[in-house]
Structure 1
């Protein structure tokens, strides 16, 4: 039996939908792709960070600072289990962001700091 040419085999296949080659990186919006990739790498390699923790910490700090009664936070009444990822201690989230900024390169840390500093000024 003769061999079929690869072009003929591919021509008989159903057309493939082209998907985006861009990999989605779960991280804070407003950062460059390089900074997001570095955050993803650091979250995977450091034992005190976890995947998606930076985006969650930034979201938690942003919502805390923007709510009207943010200065009335009392961890005894608002805390719960005292784990910020679970019950939402915003000061732990801010410390988490600081640890990420210290682990990043200067350029990426500057980008993340540009998102965090306006929130710090509001607080």
Structure 2
């Protein structure tokens, strides 16, 4: 019997804005975590920057977002756009759409066990 798992990144999306992002771990493998993030208008708090000790690959699946990378300014992301954020790359989410869910696929590589983003 196979251990294969299947799903849809667009299944079960909220119909209305939520108070917080919805994070769902899709797979946790040694040193790698794959998650779906659903944003409904959320952004990083003022002055907050992610500064992770691991690499992160993000793909915007639906909606729209503005990603800020320190020293590089704002980058508007639309469906199909992706970013590779090497470890220690300071970044933040400046905005996400509130009129529809913004769906991200995030792959965290080299993440220490027990230290999710």
Common fold by TM > 0.5: no
More strand by share: 2
Larger RCO: 1 or 2 (CA < 8 Å, sep 6+): 2
TM-score, structure 2 as length reference: 0.24
